[in-house]
Amino acid sequence: MRHCDRIISFALIVIGIVILVGHTVFGLRVVHRNKIWIIGTYSFVVQTQSALDFLSECSPDTFAEIPRYIHLVVEFSKSGISPRYKVFSASKKTAFAPGRSQPVQLFWYAGAIVHDARHGWQYHNGLNIKSWDEKTVAEREIFEKDAISTTIPVLQQCTRYVPQFAQHEIADMLEQMIAKQNTCDYCNISWMDRNW
């Protein structure tokens, strides 16, 4: 059984149990909001809801497209999307951007959601149909550059929704993304070797 199939199976079991017995199973919360299921610890679910709320406020058109490509966000040890099943696995490192202020964490996480939804768009338009490890590094670079170039304008649009005290940090983050948008320093790493 492939890794993404195990995540899907577990998520469906958890959702089924929650429907039968309540909102918390195995210490995990399950929430259905804006056409997206969210499974994770309480703090993860709240952070995910907050990132989605942030996107709905700062980029309503983008936010409206997210449920077409992501049906489930699940807390996991690594981040990535299974576009076939429309499941976005998000690690704590992705969701909480350690060392960053709360507004910057939400900004970053919203960008990760947009980025992975773009991979969903690529897949459902017949462009990105191989798994991460089945792709060559050159193929990974093409799809990552496309996702990054889609994410940057959305985040630029969202900067005005970030509190003033966090603007400098956001500007630095965007500047780094723009500088690296034509490179992919993680494209040579297998999915299992990711640390985010």
> Tens digit of pLDDT for each residue in 19-57?
544 566 567 888 888 899 999 999 999 999 999 999 999
How is residue 44 written in tokens? Answer: 């993860």
Contact 79, 113 (CB under 8 A): no
CB count within 10 Å of CB 133 equals 11
Overall average pLDDT of the 135-139 stretch: 94
Contact 181, 175 (CB under 8 A): no
Q: Where are the alpha helices (DSSP H) in 25-101?
A: 42-58, 60-69, 92-96
Overall average pLDDT of the 117-130 stretch: 94
The residue assigned the tokens 């959305």 is 154
Backbone torsions φ then ψ of 98, nearest 5 degrees: -50, 140
Contact 136, 118 (CB under 8 A): no
Report the predicted TM-score, pTM, of the whole model to 2 decimal places: 0.88
- Summarize pLDDT for 53-111 with one digit per residue, the tens: 999 999 999 999 999 999 999 999 989 999 999 999 999 999 999 999 999 999 999 99
- Summarize pLDDT for 7-19 with one digit per residue, the tens: 666 666 666 655 5
Confidence band for 128, pLDDT divided at 50, 70 and 90: confident
The span from the CA of 183 to the CA of 42, in Å, is 35
Overall average pLDDT of the 3-8 stretch: 63
Tell me what pLDDT residue 184 has: 87
Position 49, amino acid: Q
Contact 37, 85 (CB under 8 A): no
The span from the CA of 54 to the CA of 49, in Å, is 9
